[in-house]
Each structure stands twice: as structure tokens, then as C-alpha cells.
Amino acid sequence: MAHSCRIMEALPPGYVLIVHHGVKHVQKAAKDLYDHIREDPDGNQYMVVLGMTPNTRYKLDNDKNILDGVPFRFQWEEDTGLIKVIPGWEHDQVTDRIRGEIQEKCRDVMRLSKDDYSFGGTTTHRPPGGNRGKQPDQCLWPRTRLGERGVGPEWPTLVIETGGTESLPRLHEDVKWWFENSRGDVRIGLVVKISLSTRKSTIEKWQLASPGPPRPVTRGAERQLPHLPPPRVQQAAAEQQPFIAQVITISDHTVIGAPLVLNFHAVMDRRPQRNERDIELDADDLLFCFKMV
């Protein structure tokens, strides 16, 4: 079954919708949304901008300070933009700590070199010849995807999408966007839901089913595939079956569902060697990542 990830699909109730009347208009609307979400951090984070000019799209894509200090992630399709406003430093810190824990396992435990992989932050990715693009909250490229001097990197193997409670349905569409537009070259998507009101957060590990399991992938089948390696072949969007392979819940002093397991071959795009193995974040690692939530 194909999954259509239209840019306005599954947005939270109360999302902001404006028609583009210049950058200052977008800045003011983003500031108003930021002020509102600081009061209600589990509420709507999204603003849709209709009728964007190429110049505004370029600025939102390339200038992190274009919204006068409002932190954001950007996605676009033709002349429609989708801005995800980041409600507070906690969201960025959780994402950055997950990145740091993954890096520590790769560098300090498995002794991978700096040349073996790179994190891409909020780099915008576009499908070849496509009229759309998207920024993740974080992503990872293995050495095989980094490209060469003067040539940009290819699709990442791992992406992270982070948001609040009301953003969860949209985050699911986001991770499907990565699978669809990369034709399956993105192997794993981590959906991180943070609730600052309940202090309870979740990590969902999404991946594609291999061509062949029963369609659709049922909840019963999912429970039998918690650590199944993601397929390492391209799949057209119409053939993809994205599913949640693992769910971890994190609260003040409790983690249910650990460890988070990231298949080495899928992430690094090669077989493990010597003391290399799957990347695992245990309960202590995850408590550290969410310590400030």
C-alpha cells in the first residue's frame, strides 16, 4: 500500500495557516506561534505558509536565524511551506543527546573513525528532480553516503524527528516522507515524542518491512520483528510497508522497552567487522538523553 505524505496531512488541531505576504509576515506569525507554544508546549507546533516565493523558501532553507530567533525546522512542496516551531531547548537537547550517545557507542565502544560516518543536523534533503524538500531534527550518513568534495551527500541511513504530544500523527507522516522520497535508502526513522507536561516521552523506531511479509504488516507480525534488520534494498513508495519495530517509554526514573537497537549494517551501510556490532542505547543512556524533560 502506498502512503501519501502530503504536506498538510495529519497536522494537529489549531495549526496556523497564513498566506505569504513577505518574510516579515512569516516572522511575526512564527513569533506568535512560538509565544503560544511556550505556554502550551504539548500543543500545536506547526505553521503552513501558502504561496511562498522562491526567495523566501531559499531563506527558510538556508538561514537558521531568518525567523528572528525562533527555532524551527522547514519542509516545502512547490510553493507551500511547513514550519515546525521548536517549543524549547528541551527538544533540541534530547535530540542532541541521542546523537551524542550514538556517537559515543560508535567512537568509544566500537572505535569507528571520524571518517566512518557524519551527522547531518537539519540539512535539507530533496529527491532528484523533486519539487519538495525537508529538514530532519538530526540524521546520520555513513561513509558510503557522504559524497566527495563539491558533491553533496546522499540520503542518510538514519533520521530523527522530534516533537510534542499533539505532533505525533504528523511525525509519523514525516518519517514516511523519508522512506518514500529516498525509495527506502533511509533505513531507520526515530520518532521522538516529548511531553513536558506529563514528563513522559517515547521513542518509536520505524523501518520498512522486507518485500515479502504479509500485507499489511499486522500488530502481531510487528511483535515478531522487534530487532529484524531493515531491508537494504530500494523500494518504490507504492511497495513500502513502514511499521513501528520498537517502542520505548521514558519517564522520570523508568524506561520500558530498552535497549534501543540500531542495526549496524543498516546504519553504516556495511557489515560489522572485528568488535563492531549493533548500536544499543540501554536504559541508563536513555535516562540521560531525557534527563531535562
Distances (CA, A) of 219 to 6, 184, 204: 25, 21, 14
Q: What is the mean pLDDT of residues 209-218?
A: 70
Task: Report yes or no: 202 and 193 within 8 Å, Cβ to Cβ.
Answer: yes
Each domain of the chain, given as residue ranges in start order, spans: 16-85, 89-289
Burial class (CB in 10 A: 0-12, 13-18, 19+), 178: buried
116-151 pLDDT, tens digit per residue, is 999 998 899 999 887 999 999 999 999 999 977 767
Residue with cell 560516518: 117
Q: What is the CATH number of domain 89-289?
A: 3.90.1570
225-261 pLDDT, tens digit per residue, is 557 899 999 999 999 999 999 999 999 889 999 999 9
* Residue 4: per-residue pLDDT: 40
pLDDT band of residue 56 (cuts 50, 70, 90) is very high
pLDDT band of residue 1 (cuts 50, 70, 90) is very low
91-105 pLDDT, tens digit per residue, is 999 999 999 999 999
* Residue 106: per-residue pLDDT: 96
Distance of alpha carbon 87 from alpha carbon 67, whole angstroms = 14
Q: Comparing 16-25, 135-144, 145-154, 270-279, which segment has the lowest mean pLDDT? A: 145-154
Closest CA to 133 of 74, 72, 91: 74
Quote the Cα angle for 94-126-93, to 5°.
10
Distances (CA, A) of 168 to 172, 211, 231: 6, 27, 25
pLDDT for 5 beyond 70: no
Distance of alpha carbon 208 from alpha carbon 217, whole angstroms = 10
**Model pTM score:** 0.94
pLDDT for 2 beyond 60: no
Distances (CA, A) of 197 to 89, 185, 251: 15, 36, 12
pLDDT for 8 beyond 80: yes
54-62 vs 23-39: helix axis angle to the nearest 10?
Answer: 50
Distance of alpha carbon 272 from alpha carbon 49, whole angstroms = 44
* Residue 221: per-residue pLDDT: 56
Burial class (CB in 10 A: 0-12, 13-18, 19+), 210: middle
pLDDT band of residue 218 (cuts 50, 70, 90) is low
* Residue 227: per-residue pLDDT: 76
- Note every long-range contact of 90-93, with CB atoms under 8 Å and residues 24 or more positions apart, other chains counting: 90/194, 90/196, 90/292, 90/293, 91/137, 91/162, 91/163, 91/164, 91/194, 92/137, 93/292
* Residue 222: per-residue pLDDT: 55
pLDDT for 85 beyond 90: yes
* Residue 54: per-residue pLDDT: 96
Cell triple for 209: 518491512
Q: Considering the chain, what percentage of its residues have pLDDT values greater than 90?
A: 80
Residue with cell 560489522: 272
- What phi, psi does 111 have (nearest 5°)? 60, 35
